[in-house]
Chain A
Amino acid sequence: MDAMLNISTLHYLVLGAALFLLGIIGVLTRRNVVIVLMSIELILNAVNLNLVAFSRYWQSIHGPNALHGQIFAIFVITDAAAEAAVGLGILIAFFRNKETVNVDEVNLLKW
């Protein structure tokens, strides 16, 4: 019980893993591209959660200014923004040409 109530880094890692798996399932099973993109965001967030949790762990060892994990999280968020912008751009271009948002209908290299 004590281990349950004493929130440690491991707790955050497990939560991150759960979100990561949800994201994986979403990416692999959904047809709607928008939801696939959102699942990717979910995966990135799971990673971010881990990074920030590691950052706190690292802080506990190397002092309060060892914030490398947080810096990485910020970079991942930057990445996510770029990914979302480009992904949605592709999605719009795709939708304009194919009039569908389903991934399994994107089975041509050109049309």
Chain B
Amino acid sequence: MHDLVQYIQSYLDSNQTPGAAGNIFWAVVYVLLVFVGLSIAVIAMNWLERKILAHMQVRLGPMRVGPHGLLQPIADALKLLLKEDIIPEEADKVVFWIAPFIVVLAAFTVFVVVPFGPTHAITDMNIGILFMLGVSSLAVLGIVTAGWASNSHYPLIGALRSSAQMVSYEVAMGLAVVSAIMMTSLNESNTGTLSMIGIVQAQLAQREWFLFKFFPLGIVAFGIFAIAMVAETNRAPFDLPEAESELTAGFHTEYSGFRWSLFFLAEYSAMIAVSSIAVTLWLGGWLRPFPNALSGPTWDLAFSLIPGLTFLFLAGMCFYSTVRMPKHPLFRIQTMGLAGFGALLAAIGLVLFIPAVRVRVSDIFWFSAKVAGFMYLYIWYRGTFPRYRFDQLMKVGWKVLLPTGLALLIVTAIWGMRSAVWADVVVPMWLGFVDLLRRIF
């Protein structure tokens, strides 16, 4: 028993990810934490998307279930779980069954290597980013099989569209990622890394987010990735596979109830996953803003207070809304619920001020805040853009993003190795040229 406690406690001082420390207990804990956190994030994202989109579109969004519709996602999830499970008669039953699980597995597995902090990752793989890209590309298998197994025209077209789209944009995405990875190798030993944690540490060591590295190369790479990741997750304006007005619902037309909700879950966690990649590669991962410029204990303290203050601010919003609630007795429960939610947020905020918690959690907070920014972008796109047509989508992918990515890759490589290129290529060539001229004349 003592050994067990020792085993569990030993990790806390080890300053490693559970995977690296080889601590199975904490690995399991982290897996559960990530799973629960992801589910909560998806639920929150669902509510936020509906509310934000609603307010962009001059309407209120969900208002009835819970105060300001806070319980709406839960009600929806319950509804989906209780719905009748329909499998089309002509469908390929086994494949129809498996397809959503492939998508969900692919979307969830990538979080094994997502670094929420220097030690807050389930594990740190040597091939981290490759693993993320590879596993997230498996989702396309689920989509293709879902469309095929439905044995119907619209899902099949949706599946073919989606697979073509995802495979195409993976290429551009990969090129952008490679250009960021090359930036990690700019150190004394010239060794880059694919490890997610290593990439963030490289940004810390180079005192610069890769977004601003080699201006404007980093921004261009980030731009390519930011476009490709929207296409990769099949979201507006690249939501052709599920283009409602054309293909009814694309590859998941025939899906309903629980299995449909799995696709939904997978879509949102894939969004979070690709945003995590973008945050890790270009936006400094868990690093707080200005880790080098504004360093020192005072700044550290100031920045570490922000998580708690954010929650207190949200709690304040809740209390303000509570005061503004109609005073009618019918709204009593809703008012109480909102006040309770505010109290919960305030409690979380206060807990985040405890020094021991503050130190451990601020990484996670900054990472999540950056990812949340991307989530807002996704919603914003959806509210703003019309949908691309398929050939235009392919044109953007292959004729714009891919050449740009290739050129970017070469330029980044040359610029990153500019001293070597100068010494080994340009100068010898120039000398040879001069020599040639001298021989001729």
- A touching B, CB within 8 angstroms: no
